[in-house]
Amino acid sequence: MANLKDVNINDAYIKIPVGTTNQRPTNPSMGAIRFNEDFNDIESIISTNTFLGSSSTTIWANSVGNHLNVPTKDLAIHLDYHFPTLIQNPANSRSSLNLVTKIPTSIPAIQAIQIYTNSNSESTSYLYFNGNPGRSFTINEGASLKCHNSQTINFFIRPAARSGAIRENFYDHAYGGDGTITLEPDGTFNYFYGTSGGNTSPYESLNSSASHPITANQWQMYTLVRDLSGGTLKWYKNAQLISTGVPTYTYAKPSTNVITIGAGYAGFYTGGLAMLSVWRAALTATEISNIFEIFRRRYDL
């Protein structure tokens, strides 16, 4: 129980510890609470269980405030279809949180929102793309969405079964510009970016590895990290590092294209997309692991 001398009754507030993600205590106990300056939110301990069979890992989660449970610093796009009203209703833009939140210029039809019920009988909504133009939408380009240096793209995805040499895009912002992700016929993802600013060379790519293809009709979390300052490109699957590369370019030229969700230069995407987040920064492995641990139950991961 808190000592009364630690509570400022006259000014009606309680002072709690403040710090960055890197300043989190090493061995906190359940019930610990603090204000995270990187997330701009209060966070608390939700788990001290082992992580994927390895050593014990403490999981912090945002408990109040933005409720996004993802880092909000340098966050450019966050589409979470667990809360479809954020997409259907442009008024719910969370602008009061000072997030760089963009609402699609063409809002997906309500019939595109479907329900997934996990093994714990908990339901969540997601956006289903049927491979047709009517399900894709665009996000207007703006300075806040440009990722010229480092970038992280994190997404929960459930592609439909495919056959043949089909290539699809669910996120397209010019493969010679800010960045595009293509789902390849072998079930891997290719990330492209470049210095042309459009869908033309010069550009380079990093594949997510044929050893870790995505499984059709199953949810998975993939993360692409472009750390140009650190000189690395990385793919993660369910918070596990699966592919790395060394970038040739030191920047991505501003894209001349709008951002397209559900389609792109290679074709229209078929399958589910539950959450898509883009940061103008390189997330750490710890931050990626935290996101996975917070949301894995929702998608039976």
Domain 75-295, CATH among 2.60.40.10, 2.60.120.200, 3.30.420.40, 3.40.50.2000: 2.60.120.200
Q: Are strands 189-194 and 179-183 parallel, antiparallel or unpaired?
A: antiparallel
Confidence of residue 146 (pLDDT cuts 50, 70, 90): confident
Instruction: Using CA atoms of 203, 221, 138, 101 in order, give the dihedral in degrees to the nearest 10.
Output: -110
Amino acid found at 300:
D
Q: Please state the φ and ψ torsions of residue 289, each to the nearest 5 degrees.
A: -65, -40
Number of residues written out for the chain: 301
**Mean pLDDT lowest among 207-216, 226-235, 291-300:** 291-300
Q: Which residues pair with 278 in a beta bridge?
A: 77, 153
* Cα 69 to Cα 63: distance, rounded to the nearest angstrom: 8
* Cα 135 to Cα 128: distance, rounded to the nearest angstrom: 8
* Cα 229 to Cα 250: distance, rounded to the nearest angstrom: 8
pLDDT at 172 over 70: yes
Sign of the alpha-carbon dihedral angle for 297, 160, 80, 234: positive
* Cα 176 to Cα 192: distance, rounded to the nearest angstrom: 7
What are the structural domain ranges in the chain? 11-62, 75-295
Secondary structure of 31-52 in HEC code, one letter for each residue: CCEEEECCCCEEEEEEECCECC
Task: Enter the pTM of the model.
Answer: 0.75
pLDDT at 221 over 80: yes
What confidence score (pLDDT) does residue 30 get? 72
pLDDT at 212 over 70: yes
Q: Mean pLDDT, to the nearest integer, of 157-167? A: 90
pLDDT at 64 over 70: no
Instruction: Calculate what percentage of the chain has a pLDDT beyond 70.
Output: 74
Residues 6+ apart with CB under 8 A from 29: 45, 48
